[in-house]
Amino acid sequence: MTNTQRLISEFSACQKHGVNCRFAVGKYTGNGPSVVAALRRRGYTVTKLRNAYYELTKA
């Protein structure tokens, strides 16, 4: 399972519980800028919260 697929499955779990799905991008997180780009290509809206933190929503 890739990091993008993992974030999509976590997003589904967050939707079930009604909470926001947030994740970090950086050296030790396993998520890079390419993960953000891949999520946007798949139709998700990725909003930057602050430095390296993002929130994932479905458009």
- Domain extent, residue 9, equals 3-58
Check if the beta carbon of residue 53 is closer than 8 Å to that of residue 19. no
Query: Phi then psi for 33, rounded to 5 degrees?
Result: -60, -25
Which residues are CB-contacts of 37 (< 8 A; sequence separation ≥ 6)? none
Query: For tokens 């967050």, what's the residue?
Result: 14
pLDDT at 59: 67
Cα–Cα distance for residue pair 29/16, rounded to 1 Å:
24
| pTM (predicted TM-score) | 0.86
Domains held by the chain: number: 1
pLDDT at 4: 92
Q: What does the pLDDT look like over 1-59, one tens digit per residue?
A: 889 999 999 999 999 999 999 999 998 988 999 999 999 999 999 999 999 999 999 86
